[in-house]
Structure 1
Amino acid sequence: MKVLVLGIGNVLWADEGFGPRCVEAMAEAFALPDHVRLLDGGTQGLYLLPFLEEAEAMLVFDAIDYGLPPATMKVVRDGEVPAFMGAKKMSLHQTGFQDVVATAQLMGCCPAKMTLIGVQPVELEDFGGGLRPAVAASIAPALEIARAELASWGIAIAPGRTETDDLADAALRRDAYEQGRPSEDQACRLGDIRFFPAAKAETV
């Protein structure tokens, strides 16, 4: 069974980056078999359709506004996944991915099995910001949920590492991104000066 493990969201917008950070952590923690593909889907929307077409099962990590307490995780499956993806949109990426699933369903090529591992964000209004501590702490539990879900699909994964070209550029990986962060005064409300020259001008 071909499986797609997908993280979606914007790593430049605080807790929106939960999904990509999960697949990044999964690549570092587990040795996945060749028929399981790890993909940082970012905010690519319909460009993700070919990946769904070739998958028989899909596991998605994402930050979702469930209306629950911050950092709460919730797992939904199969037919519930599109409904939760569009229940309360936080950003354009959710609209885009809901459209991807709907298009795949109309084309008759949507994965037969779908699982969404979502976390309630703590903070989104911080462009250039990183994951808040409570959401970052949810990554490890999310990976264990994913491991159990894959096991229920008959896929056992062992500790190790997965080499893949389907993740973000090394400069955007969490450690490199966070270590290069300016001070909070420069980055939090004005924007990260690595991406906003105007923010740099206001702080000098």
Structure 2
Amino acid sequence: MRVLVAGVGNIFLGDDGFGPEVVRVLQQEQLPAGVQLVDYGIRGVHLAYDLLEAWEALVLIDALPPSGKPGAVEVFELEAERDDSTARFDAHSLDPNSVFSSLRALGGTAPRTFVVGAHVESVDEGIGLTPQVQAAVTGAASVVIGLVRSMAADAATADQGA
């Protein structure tokens, strides 16, 4: 099983730094074999190139628009090959639609993709998360750990059945 866990966001825009902050917490955890954890920040092109490798799944950790309660964590799976599927969490300069478009232009296809995000309160200039979004970091890290462990267990079960 190969899963890429990618934190994305701009740490200089307040709550937009949610993804990198969750990655920082996850660096202290023991993740299953085959899981690669990367803080991409705003380097969407780098993420697109890394997605050219063979991955069974991608877990994006990202800030979500302020359309929900600040700090509320959501988890959802993106639909494959839909150009508008990531519009709901495009809250910053790393536009996942652009990443996936670049990936397709390079001849790649997106793996099964999950998003773990928290709704922002502020993306004003400044380093540091608002208290509501900071409070969501540990819970979001736990969600990511549960998600990748579940995928690892499913892969192990599939391997035993083969």
Q: State the distance in 2 between where 1:150 and 1:84 align.
A: 22
C-alpha separation in 2, matches of 1:84 and 1:72: 20
* Partner Cα distance (1:115, 1:15) in 2: 20
Shift of 1:129: 2.9
Q: Percent identity?
A: 27
TM-superposed CA distance for 1:128, in Å, is 2.4
Counterpart of 1:163 in structure 2 is none
Aligned residue pairs: how many? 151
- Structure 1 counterpart of 2:131, which letter? P
Other structure's SS at 1:103 match? helix
What residue in structure 2 maps to residue 21 of structure 1? 21
C-alpha contact (below 8 Å) 1:64/1:85 kept by paired residues: no
Q: Distance in 2 between matches of 1:129 and 1:101?
A: 28
| 2:139 paired residue number | 141
Match of 1:5, SS state, is strand
TM-score (norm 1): 0.66
Partner of 1:117: 116
Q: Which deviates further from its counterpart, 7-16 or 73-82? A: 73-82
Task: Report which of the two structures shows the higher radius of gyration computed on alpha carbons.
Answer: 1
**In the alignment, residue 40 of structure 1 is paired with which amino acid?**
D
**Mapping 1:20-99, distance limit 5 Å:** 20-28=20-28, 30-54=29-53, 55-65=55-65, 67-79=67-79, 83=84, 85-87=86-88, 89-94=90-95, 97-99=96-98
Counterpart CA distance in 2 for 1:27 and 1:88 is 24
Counterpart residue type for residue 86 of structure 2: M
Quote the Cα distance in structure 1 between the aligned partners of 2:15 and 2:65: 11
Is contact 2:7-2:62 (8 Å) kept?
Answer: yes
Give the direction of change, closer, same or farther, for the CA distance of 1:85–1:21 in structure 2 (3 Å limit).
Answer: same
Work out the CA distance in 2 between the residues paired with 1:78 and 1:142: 17
Please report the TM-score for the alignment, with normalisation by the length of structure 2: 0.82
Structure 2 regions of 5+ residues with no counterpart?
Answer: 155-162
Q: Which amino acid aligns with 1:58?
A: L
Amino acid at match of 1:93: L
Distance 1:36 1:89 in 2: 25
Over the aligned positions, Cα root-mean-square deviation in angstroms equals 2.3
Task: Please give the alpha-carbon distance, in whole angstroms, between the structure 1 residues aligned to 2:84 and 2:44.
Answer: 16
User: Which consecutive aligned stretches of 4+ in structure 1 deviate over 3 angstroms post-superposition?
Assistant: 80-84
